[in-house]
Amino acid sequence: MLKVSVIGSGNVGATCAFEIARRNLAQVVLVDVVEGLAQGKSLDMNQASSFLKFNPQILGTNNFEEIVFSEVVVITAGLPRKPGMSRIDLLKTNAEIVKRVVEKVKKFAPHSKIIVITNPLDVMVFLALKVSNFPRERVIGMGGSLDSARFKYFLSLLLNVPLEDVSAMVIGAHGDTMVPLTQLATVRGKSIYSIASSQVIEKVVERTRNGGAEIVSLLKTGSAFYAPAMATAEMVESILLDQKKIISTAFYLQGEYGFSDVVISLPIVLGKNGVEKLIELNLSQETNEALAKSVKSVEEAIKELKTVVNFESN
């Protein structure tokens, strides 16, 4: 049976592990540094298997050696930003955590595909790529997939149409400079501009950009985890089953769209080898300018990364 390892058994990691098992995609290894945490959550999930008709194949462990032969490794390990913590403090803390995790992945699962969820996401994908020295096709991030899901949901909500009738995508950085592709968004094949005003669409765009922050403000002591976990499970499924779905995915660029040595989300064909193909869209001048601004925000964050953590460069 295929194996998927999830590093970090917090809300995102545990929910992701459970969904992968629920879909009967693979044996799941849930790893955490806290003694008993992954073991307890995995035991609970396995006991739930009889209700959901999946084989109880979730192993909770503190031992990274258990990830050996993993087809995919999902990295959720890291800390959320806490009151009084600067953005640089968060970057430094999570970069050090991700660096240690990736070194373990490189040692025990050198042929795996890595999916990063830890924030700041685009920068952590960049770090994971440099530390692992894996081919870029095997180191990606859950960014645009989640943002696209939020965009679709908010469009369906404001336009009062079924979610399944909406087709939409978000590209760029996983943050407030993301680029929802309004010109390409459709409802039942028709442009959203044919059924809504620019003002309404702009409201949807703004809510999408603040989608994660809105949840944080409501929860007070946490952040989103159901949607991020589902977005990741969808990516894992496309890889394991070689579905070749087109998913907006955080990916390291080497000249595509005119950008290099940076990570942003773009439409990617995901299959058994990881990134099978990057799709280059014909974007308007306005969208290209917005994408350039988004790229710049990530480039600045990567510069900050290089000042707070040492890592091997390709």
Instruction: Report the C-alpha gap between 80 and 210 in whole angstroms.
Output: 16
Element at 229 (helix H, strand E)? helix 226-240
Instruction: Report the C-alpha gap between 133 and 130 in whole angstroms.
Output: 5
Q: What is the 3-state secondary structure (H, E, C) of 91-129?
A: HHHHHHHHHHHHHHHHHHCCCCEEEECCCCHHHHHHHHH
| Cα 305 to Cα 54, 118, 260, 309, distances in angstroms | 41, 14, 17, 6
Among 102, 76, 72, residue whose Cα is nearest residue 14: 76
What are 209's two structure tokens?
């950009």
Q: Are 178 and 209 in contact (CB under 8 A)?
A: yes
What are 276's two structure tokens?
């099978």
DSSP string for residues in 152-189: HHHHHHHHT--GGGEE--EEB-SSTT-EE-GGG-EETT
With 0-12 / 13-18 / 19 or more C-beta atoms within 10 angstroms meaning exposed / middle / buried, residue 80 is middle
Q: Are 261 and 313 in contact (CB under 8 A)?
A: no
Catalytic annotation present for 174: yes
**Residue type present at position 262:** V
Active-site pick, 174, 185, 207, 238 = 174
**Distance of alpha carbon 170 from the chain centroid:** 13
Catalytic residues: 174
